[in-house]
C-alpha cells in the first residue's frame, strides 16, 4: 500500500545528532560550552543535514556522572545558560527545519536532589517512598553493578533511617521508585514541562532499570509497560508527533516488548545495540557474516516503531552482547591496550583511531551506517573524524571539546586550557589536523563526504521506510543488501576488506531494460538478463545504487 502522508512519522528518515552543550562551544569565554555557543552552530548542523538534535543532560547537576546525576529536573545548569537561552536554541533549530529532543533521566536522581535529602532523613517523610529501600542487609550484588570499577554493590547503607537504598549506577545516584504513583506523576510533569518549552521528545535513559520494581511494592505497579504506554500517549497528546528514543540494551525478543509489540505504542525508537556490536565483530574479522546475522534476526516491528542505528555513542562502546571470545576478538583488533577498554565489556575509543585513521575504511563504515535500514544517530565530532583522549577518566575519553578550528583550544573556547571541561585531543587527531573550518573548504574531506551521505540518505526513503533483504554473493568480506519502499529500490554494497572485489549479484524483478545508477559517485552499471549484475569494489570500497525502472521519472 502506498503511504501518502508520512509527516507525523518524520523520525523514520531523520538524522539524529547527539551533543553535550558543555563540550560543544563556549561563547562567553568561561571555559564551559553554553547554549549561546550552540545557537551559533545550529547552521553548521543544518548544513550537515541534521534534522533532529539530541541534547545530553543540561540540568543542574552534582557533577558525579557528567550531568546524569540531576539535582533539579525542571532547571538549566547555570553554567550553560538559562531557560531563555535553551528556548532560543530550540527556536533557531526549528527555524532551520530541525527538531530538538533531550535526555529524560528519570531512573534516578542525584543524592543531592532535594527529594532524596528529605527521603534519607526519616522513614516518615513524604518523599521517603520516592526511592527504593530495604531493611535487611543485602546479598552480594557485585555482579549487578553498572560501573564495576567504581561500585561493588547496588545497595548503600543510609545511617539516619538504618536501611539500604538502591542505586544501579553510582551510590550518589539513588534509584527512583516508579511503583509510587507520585513518582509516576512527577515524571509526566517533567515531560510536560519540557515539551511545553518546545522539545519534540526525549531520549529515555536506562529504560529497563526505570521500569523495574522491587519486592512487595509491585502490587502498586502491576503492569510497568502500561505506564510506558501512558507516557507515549501523553507525548502524543502534547506534541502530535513527538518521539521516545529508548536506551534498551537487551536481547531482541525483550526489546520488542519495549516497542509495545505489534501495537507499537510504547517507545518510538530503540537503539540497535546488537547490530552495532555485530558490526564491530564483522570489522574485526573482515567478515560480513556477524552483521548479516544480526540484521536477519532483527524482529519485525510495527510501522509506528523504528530501529536507531549508530557506530558510536556517548557512553562506552559496549560489547556486552558478544560472547567472551568474540569480545576479545574486537578488543584485539580495536583496543588491545587495557586503558582502551572499560568495565571489561567495552571500548572507550572513537572510530577513526580504532581504524588507524584510514580514510577509506572510515568512509566505508559511515557509508554502511547510513545505508542500513533504520534511523542513523551521530555523536558530535563524528562528522570530522575526531579522536579520543585516553588520559581522561572512563567514558570521558570520547567527550572531549569539539574541534572547530586549528587555533588555541580547537576554537572551542578563548579561556585558559585549565578552565575547559577537559583537554582538547592531542596527537594525530588534534585540532591542527582535524577541525571543522579546514574541512568546510576541502571537497575531499570527511565532512564533505558526510554531507553527501546525509543528502543521499535523505533522498532515499527506502532506507527509513522500506523492507530490506541481504543479497547473496561469494565474498565473505562483502556485505550487500537491498532496501525497497513504494516504487523505489536501493542496493548498497560494502567491502570490509582491503583487497578489490568483483561482486556478482542477482536482482529479482530486474532485467536488461533497468538501470543501476550510482548515488555516491558518477556512473551506471549495466543490468543483464534476469537481473544479473557485476559490481567492482575497491579495497574498503562502498557503493549505493538506485534501481531505475524503464520510464521512471525519478531523479537520481
Q: Are strands 133-134 and 163-166 parallel, antiparallel or unpaired?
A: antiparallel
Hey, which residues does 503 pair with through a beta bridge? 535
pLDDT given for residue 215 in this prediction: 47
Catalytic residue among 247, 315, 316, 388: 247
pLDDT given for residue 511 in this prediction: 85
19-28 confidence digits (pLDDT tens): 999 999 999 9
d(CA 240, CA 40): 29
Helix/strand/coil for 101 = strand
Helix/strand/coil for 400 = coil
As a CATH number, domain 114-166 is: 3.90.400.10
Which 8-state DSSP code applies to residue 312?
Answer: -
Sign of the CA dihedral with 3 first, then 7, 8, and 12 last: positive
pLDDT given for residue 221 in this prediction: 74
Q: Does residue 520 contact residue 546 with C-beta atoms inside 8 Å?
A: no
Listed residue (270, 205, 247, 269) closest to 66, CA to CA: 205
CB contact set of 200 (below 8 Å; sequence gap of 6+): 52, 99, 100, 101, 239, 241, 242, 243
Indicate if 205 belongs to the active site: yes
CB atoms within 10 A of CB 177: 23
Percent helix, strand and coil across the chain, each to the nearest 5: 35, 20, 45
Give the per-residue SS3 of 191-202.
HHHHHHCCCCEE
d(CA 431, CA 329): 31
Residues in the chain, total: 556
Q: Does residue 297 contact residue 252 with C-beta atoms inside 8 Å?
A: yes
Indicate if 247 belongs to the active site: yes
d(CA 317, CA 381): 16
Q: What nine digits make up the cell of 42?
A: 545550529
Q: What are phi and psi of 108, to 5 degrees?
A: -155, 170
pLDDT given for residue 418 in this prediction: 97
The fold of the 467-548 domain, in CATH, is Immunoglobulin-like (2.60.40)
Hey, where are the domains in the chain? Answer: 114-166, 467-548
pLDDT given for residue 262 in this prediction: 86
pLDDT given for residue 216 in this prediction: 47
C-alpha dist (Å) from residue 209 to 135, 257, 369, 466: 21, 14, 28, 32
Listed residue (538, 545, 399) closest to 460, CA to CA: 545
Task: Tell me the pLDDT of the chain (556 aa) as tens digits.
Answer: 334 446 689 999 999 999 999 999 999 999 999 999 999 999 999 999 999 999 999 999 999 988 999 999 999 999 999 999 999 999 999 999 999 999 999 999 999 999 999 999 999 999 999 999 999 999 999 999 988 888 999 999 999 999 999 999 999 999 999 999 999 999 999 999 999 999 999 999 999 998 886 544 556 677 889 999 999 999 999 999 999 999 999 999 999 999 998 899 999 999 999 999 999 999 999 999 999 999 999 998 999 999 999 999 999 999 999 999 999 999 999 999 999 999 999 999 999 999 999 999 999 999 999 999 999 999 999 999 999 999 999 999 999 999 999 999 999 999 999 999 999 999 999 999 999 999 999 999 999 999 999 999 999 999 999 999 999 999 999 999 999 998 889 999 999 999 999 999 999 888 888 889 999 999 999 999 888 999 999 999 999 999 998 877 777 7
Q: How far is CA 288 from the centre of its chain?
A: 22
382-423 confidence digits (pLDDT tens): 999 999 999 999 999 999 999 999 999 999 999 999 999 999
488 CB-contact burial (10 Å; exposed 0-12 / middle 13-18 / buried 19+): buried
Catalytic residue among 205, 287, 326, 389: 205
Listed residue (199, 224, 175, 233) closest to 53, CA to CA: 199
Amino acid at each position: 500500500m502506498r503511504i501518502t502522508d508520512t509527516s507525523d512519522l518524520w523520525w523514520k528518515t531523520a538524522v539524529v545528532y547527539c551533543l553535550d552543550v558543555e563540550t560543544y562551544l563556549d561563547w562567553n569565554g568561561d571555559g564551559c560550552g553554553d547554549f549561546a555557543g550552540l545557537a551559533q552552530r545550529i547552521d553548521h548542523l543544518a548544513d550537515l543535514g541534521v534534522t533532529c538534535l539530541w541534547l545530553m543532560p543540561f540540568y543542574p547537576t552534582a557533577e558525579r556522572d557528567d550531568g546524569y546525576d540531576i539535582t533539579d529536573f525542571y532547571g538549566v545548569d547555570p553554567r550553560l545558560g538559562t531557560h531563555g537561552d535553551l528556548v532560543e536554541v530550540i527556536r533557531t533549530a526549528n527555524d532551520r527545519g530541525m527538531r530538538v529532543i533531550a535526555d529524560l533521566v528519570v531512573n534516578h536522581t542525584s543524592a543531592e536532589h532535594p527529594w532524596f535529602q528529605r527521603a534519607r532523613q526519616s522513614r516518615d517523610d513524604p518523599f521517603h517512598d520516592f526511592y527504593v529501600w530495604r531493611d535487611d542487609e543485602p546479598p552480594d550484588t557485585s555482579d549487578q553493578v553498572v560501573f564495576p570499577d567504581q561500585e561493588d554493590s547496588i545497595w548503600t547503607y543510609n545511617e539516619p533511617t538504618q536501611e539500604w537504598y538502591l542505586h544501579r549506577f553510582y551510590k550518589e545516584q539513588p534509584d527512583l521508585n516508579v511503583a509510587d504513583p507520585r513518582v509516576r506523576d512527577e515524571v509526566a510533569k517533567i515531560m510536560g514541562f519540557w515539551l511545553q518549552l518546545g522539545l519534540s521528545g526525549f531520549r529515555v535513559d536506562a529504560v529497563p532499570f526505570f521500569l523495574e520494581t522491587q519486592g512487595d511494592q509491585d502490587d502498586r505497579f502491576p503492569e510497568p509497560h502500561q505506564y510506558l504506554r501512558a507516557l507515549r500517549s501523553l507525548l502524543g497528546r502534547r506534541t502530535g508527533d513527538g518521539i521516545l528514543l529508548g536506551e534498551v540494551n537487551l536481547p531482541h525478543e525483550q526489546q520488542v516488548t519495549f516497542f509495545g509489540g505489534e501495537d507499537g505504542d510504547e517507545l518510538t525508537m530503540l537503539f540497535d545495540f546488537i547490530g552495532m556490536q555485530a558490526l564491530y565483530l564483522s570489522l574485526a574479522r573482515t567478515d560480513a557474516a556477524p552483521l548479516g546475522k544480526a540484521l536477519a534476526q532483527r524482529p519485525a516491528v510495527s510501522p509506528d516503531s523504528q530501529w536507531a542505528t549508530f557506530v558510536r555513542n556517548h557512553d562506552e562502546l559496549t560489547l556486552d552482547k558478544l560472547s567472551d571470545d568474540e569480545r576479545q576478538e574486537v578488543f584485539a583488533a580495536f583496543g588491545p591496550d587495557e586503558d582502551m577498554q572499560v568495565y571489561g565489556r567495552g571500548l572507550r575509543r572513537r572510530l577513526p583511531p580504532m581504524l588507524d585513521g584510514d580514510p577509506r575504511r572510515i568512509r566505508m563504515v559511515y557509508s554502511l551506517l547510513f545505508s542500513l535500514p533504520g534511523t542513523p544517530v551521530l555523536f558530535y565530532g563524528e562528522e570530522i573524524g575526531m579522536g579520543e583522549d585516553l588520559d581522561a577518566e572512563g567514558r570521558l575519553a570520547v567527550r572531549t571539546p569539539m574541534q572547530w578550528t586549528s587555533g588555541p583550544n580547537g576554537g572551542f573556547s578563548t579561556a585558559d586550557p585549565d578552565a575547559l571541561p577537559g583537554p582538547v585531543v592531542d596527537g594525530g587527531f588534534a585540532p591542527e589536523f582535524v577541525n571543522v573550518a579546514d574541512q568546510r573548504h576541502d571537497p575531499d574531506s570527511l565532512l564533505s563526504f558526510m554531507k553527501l551521505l546525509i543528502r543521499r540518505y535523505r533522498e532515499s526513503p527506502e532506507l527509513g521506510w522500506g523492507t530490506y533483504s541481504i543479497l547473496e554473493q561469494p565474498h565473505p568480506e562483502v556485505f550487500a543488501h537491498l532496501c525497497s519502499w513504494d516504487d523505489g529500490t536501493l542496493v548498497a554494497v560494502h567491502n570490509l576488506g582491503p583487497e578489490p572485489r568483483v561482486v556478482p549479484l542477482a536482482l529479482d524483478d530486474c532485467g536488461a531494460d533497468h538501470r543501476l545508477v550510482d548515488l555516491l559517485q558518477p556512473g551506471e552499471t549495466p543490468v543483464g538478463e534476469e537481473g544479473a549484475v557485476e559490481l567492482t569494489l575497491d579495497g574498503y570500497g562502498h557503493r549505493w545504487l538506485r534501481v531505475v525502472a524503464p520510464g521512471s521519472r525519478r531523479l537520481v
